[in-house]
Structure 1
Amino acid sequence: MTSLLLNPDLLSTALPAGWHAAVPGPDDVADLHALRARHEVAARGAESAGLDATRAELTGNAAETRVHVMLRDAAGAARGWATAHDRAAGRVLVAVVVDPELDDATGDEVAAVLFAWAEGAGVAHARARELSRTQLDSGAFEPDTRHQRRLAAAGYEHVRTWWQMRRPVVDEGHGLGPTGPGVVIRRLEREEGGMPGARDLVAAHDILEQAFTDHFNHHEETFEEFLARLRSDPGHRWDHWWLAELVDGDEPQAVGVLIASASTDADGRAVGSYVEYLGVRRVARGRGVARSLLDAVVTDAAERGRRYVGLEVDADSPTGAADLYLSSGFTTSYVTQSWHRYADVL
């Protein structure tokens, strides 16, 4: 496996004549972003990821936990790209992008090569963590039956559906309602321009680990992994973190957290806010904490002149989260799917 990662040209025997594989670098960012954009437009009618995200994954801080391989055809055009992201212990995110302009037979052949490479890369991640098995977690847009067919051919199963939701932000009446009784929402405490203090950061991590323990496909993340992953996102902003505290007891009790990021357009301008995480401890559920946190991010987006707030929700969530978002003015923009398979470390 190590030799495959270091010398991806070993894949060439399984590729169409004249094609070659390589580890992408800075000079490949534009081509791979264009490839991803073609895939997204063909699959759902619009781009999803910005150029900053592609650059971060390939050459920025986000590259530290990812390995990549790219395929170019005989004319040198980027036609395929696979990523294996060491997301957490026992969970590897697999992304496979195949140029939609290829005919189905060639595309199927390319996809099979990329999924096989990704399995090997996922096993290498698991071996480095001294694990005997890992989950390979991939996905598809709901309308993209071609990619779903390729996932199934690679041994993946459709396990979950996700709603990608948005709420427009308007100048008047942008809030969702008053803060719940006994609930205070605040940003993490930090010095001007600096990182938040360890106490608030640890509280945010602990709340999310507790809130999501019983959620679908939760994999525990260490505090260090949690911070490093969020900070590697080009949309990360420290002033987009909020804590919810109950203040009707002897001491304030941190019970909820919302972490958002800035969503940018093709020119790098922040045009929206995106809710990366919203978690509330069980002890505080039913007290309006989640709605109060939503109010904070929507109000903040309005004050910044942004157009919308976006988020992802499990369509089958047992917590009623989807109902909360629907009642708060969020509507579904598009739908995605999670596909899983498992790989053993031999």
Structure 2
Amino acid sequence: MTDPMPPDYPDRARTGLCWRALTPADVEAWYALVRRMAEADQPVWSETREDLAEYLSSPANDPALTTVAGFDGAGTLRAAGRVSARPGSAVAHTWGGVDPAWRRRGIGRAVYRWQRDCQHRRFAAACISGGVLRTMAEERAQPHNALLRAAGAGVVRYFTEMTRPLSQPIPDLPLPAGFVFATLDPEDSEPVRLAHNEAFAGHWGSEPRDPARWDFTVRHPQLVPAWSMSVLDTTTGETVAYQLASFDPEYRLQSGYDEGFTDLLGVRPAWRGRGLASSLLAEAMRRFKAGGMAHAGLGVDTENASGALALYQRMGYTPTIRSRAWDFPLG
């Protein structure tokens, strides 16, 4: 079933902006808006040009139907929003933002209302019931959280960013006998993708990564293949665990230090309980430090039943920033 027509755009008379969908030609304008927002809000992470371009070229989420953008009289992008959902999924994700100079005018509420209406129509067209619109917001971003609360969304999960100074001794945690590290090769990472999908199959909010999305992950400009590795079972040659790491050069602007960041870490169920995750983290720390990083970082679902939070604490990571996952029911 094809997507429905998008809902009506926000009212120009009330918002002072002219609205339309984003197009691939808007990447630079969208990125400029993201940077203005980041300078004011200092989020732990913000989208790169490549992230925005990838979304606007995604066949799964036609930007003509899933984006909204507000321009002022001079043609400057002042607000934008998008919704995205994997085909067949009952969870849609949002991103939205307003230029700091244009806030407190009801524009953020108008964007979120458009996102809700847009995804409600998409779920209805796909005959999906019980769908939700999910938005991530850093706990310290009080206006964002207040907007979501006032709109009727509710907090369903908490996530925590953690960091560890690499000036502290790195634990000596070699792999058990019968296992070896293999540095990530983006050209030959299909076994790692399959291992990731298996490792995260039962995790809250996780959805399988198809080859196209995985290819974007391993070729992302911030991913560092030399810091990323898998664990191979030497008896079978199988990929049984993995760790993917990245470097955001702008992170030091808010933290004051450079940090190697573990984006993905997983162990396939049949190989858990052997210390592979600990060995991967220790090896990542060594590679981060050799690469000039001052800290190692990662993020964790604080309610993860696998015990990940306790593992990270034992490895010396401490919390820095907490985020909330807000859900708005759409059917």
TM-score, scaled relative to structure 1:
0.78
Cα deviations across residues 129-176 of structure 1 (Å, max 9, x unaligned)? Answer: x45244322011112332222112333210011111122233x84x33
- Contact kept? 1:80, 1:99, Cα under 8 Å: yes
Of the three residues 129, 146, 149, the one matched with 1:152 is: 149
Aligned twin of 1:13: 11
Aligned to 1:196, what secondary structure does the other structure show?
Answer: helix
Q: How does 1:1-346 map to 2 (within 5 A)?
A: 3-4=5-6, 11-13=9-11, 16=14, 18-24=16-22, 25-38=26-39, 40=41, 46-49=42-45, 53-58=47-52, 60-65=53-58, 67=63, 68-73=67-72, 78-86=77-85, 89-90=88-89, 91-100=91-100, 104=104, 106=105, 109-123=106-120, 130=126, 132-133=128-129, 134-170=131-167, 173=169, 175-182=170-177, 184-188=179-183, 190=185, 195-197=186-188, 201-222=189-210, 224-231=211-218, 233-247=220-234, 250-265=235-250, 271-344=258-331
Count of matched residue positions in the alignment of Structure 1 and Structure 2: 315
Instruction: Indicate the percent of aligned positions where both proteins have the same amino acid.
Output: 20
Aligned counterparts of 2:251 and 2:314: Cα–Cα separation in 1: 31
Q: CA deviation at 1:240?
A: 3.9
Cα deviations across residues 230-281 of structure 1 (Å, max 9, x unaligned)? Answer: 146331344343111344xx4344321111222222899x943221111112
Aligned counterparts of 2:218 and 2:118: Cα–Cα separation in 1: 24
Aligned to 1:16, what secondary structure does the other structure show?
Answer: helix
- Contact kept? 1:185, 1:245, Cα under 8 Å: yes
Q: From the two aligned structures, give the one with the greater strand fraction.
A: 1
- Contact kept? 2:241, 2:277, Cα under 8 Å: yes
Aligned counterparts of 2:85 and 2:216: Cα–Cα separation in 1: 10
- Contact kept? 2:199, 2:269, Cα under 8 Å: yes
User: What is the root-mean-square deviation in Å for CA atoms of aligned residues?
Assistant: 3.2
- Range with greater deviation from structure 2 (28-37 or 67-76): 67-76
Task: Check 1:253–1:266 CA distance in 2 against 1; reply closer, same or farther (3 A cut).
Answer: closer
Aligned to 2:187, what secondary structure does the other structure show?
Answer: coil
Q: CA deviation at 1:78?
A: 4.5
Q: CA deviation at 1:323?
A: 1.2
Aligned counterparts of 2:13 and 2:325: Cα–Cα separation in 1: 27
- Contact kept? 1:38, 1:99, Cα under 8 Å: no
Aligned counterparts of 1:218 and 1:298: Cα–Cα separation in 2: 26
Ranges in structure 2 where 5+ consecutive residues have no aligned partner:
none
Question: Which amino acid is the alignment partner of residue 257 of structure 1?
Answer: Y
- Contact kept? 1:14, 1:113, Cα under 8 Å: no
Q: CA deviation at 1:30?
A: 5.0
Question: Which amino acid is the alignment partner of residue 158 of structure 2?
Answer: T
- Contact kept? 2:184, 2:228, Cα under 8 Å: no
